[in-house]
Amino acid sequence: MADMHVDCFDMINPFVIASSPATRGADNVIKSSACKPGAITMRNFGHGMGGGGFFYPGFDAVAKGQPAFHSHAVGNQLADKIDTLDEYCEEVKRARRDMYPETKLWASVGHYHDIEKYPDWQKRWKTEAKEVVNAGADAIELHFNTPGVATASDRQFNYYQLIETCTKMIKETVPGVPVMVKLAIEDIDCLTSSRRAVAAGADAVGPTARWKGFYFDLDWKTTEARPGAGYGGTQANPVVCFEIADARSKGITIPMYAGGGVFSYDQALRYIMAGAEMVQFGAIACSGGIKQCQRIIKQCSDWMDENGFKSVKELQGEALKLFNMDQSFAKERQKKLGEAYRVRMVDQDKCIGCGRCEDVCWYKGIALEGRKAQKTENCIGCGYCFQVCPTKALEVDARGILKSAFEEN
C-beta separation of 212 from 230 below 8 A: yes
The DSSP letter of residue 303 is H
- Indicate if the alpha-carbon torsion angle 76, 82, 83, 88 is positive or negative: negative
Select the more confidently predicted residue: 187 or 106. 106
pLDDT tens digits, 275-291: 999 999 988 898 889 99
The pLDDT, as a whole number, for residue 78 is 63
Q: DSSP 3-state helix, strand, coil percentages of the chain (rounded to 5)?
A: 45, 15, 40
- The one-letter amino acid code at 120 reads D
d(CA 280, CA 271): 10
Q: What is the mean pLDDT of residues 3-28?
A: 94
Average pLDDT in the chain: 90
Give one word for 65, left, alpha or beta, with left for phi > 0 and alpha for psi -120 to 50: left
**At 91, is the pLDDT very low, low, confident or very high (cuts 50, 70, 90)?**
very high
Distance CA 42, CA 113 (A): 18
Q: With bands split at pLDDT 50, 70 and 90, how would you rate the model's confidence at 300?
A: very high
The pLDDT-based confidence of 83 (bands split at 50, 70, 90) is: confident
- Give pLDDT tens digits for 48-58: 555 557 777 77
Residue 59 has pLDDT above 90, yes or no: no
Q: Which of 71, 39, 33, 25 is nearest to 52 (CA)?
A: 71
CATH of 7-322, one of 3.40.47.10, 3.20.20.20, 3.40.50.300, 3.20.20.70: 3.20.20.70
pLDDT of residue 159: 83
- The Cα–Cα gap between 53 and 44 comes to 19
| pLDDT at 150 > cutoff 70 | no
Task: Name the residue with higher pLDDT: 45 or 154.
Answer: 45
Mention every residue, 6+ apart, whose C-beta is less than 8 A from residue 342.
Answer: 379, 380, 381
Q: Are 79 and 47 in contact (CB under 8 A)?
A: no
Q: What is the pLDDT averaged over residues 89-114?
A: 93
Pairing of strands 204-207, 211-212: unpaired
- For domain 327-408, is the CATH number 3.30.70.3040? no
Region 351-371: what's the mean pLDDT?
96
The tens digit of pLDDT for each residue in 196-238 reads: 999 999 999 999 988 778 888 899 888 888 777 777 888 889 9
pLDDT, mean of residues 95-117: 90
Contacts of 39 (CB under 8 A, 6+ apart): 9, 11, 15, 16, 17, 103, 104, 105, 106, 138, 139, 278
Residue 125 CA: distances (Å) to CA of 46, 104, 108, 366: 12, 21, 10, 66
Calculate what percentage of the chain has a pLDDT beyond 90: 69
Q: Where are the domains of the chain?
A: 7-322, 327-408
pLDDT of 381 > 90? The answer is yes
Per-residue CA distances from 135 to 41, 132, 211, 343 (Å): 14, 5, 33, 68
> Do 240 and 260 contact (CB within 8 A), yes or no?
yes
pLDDT on residue 74: 62
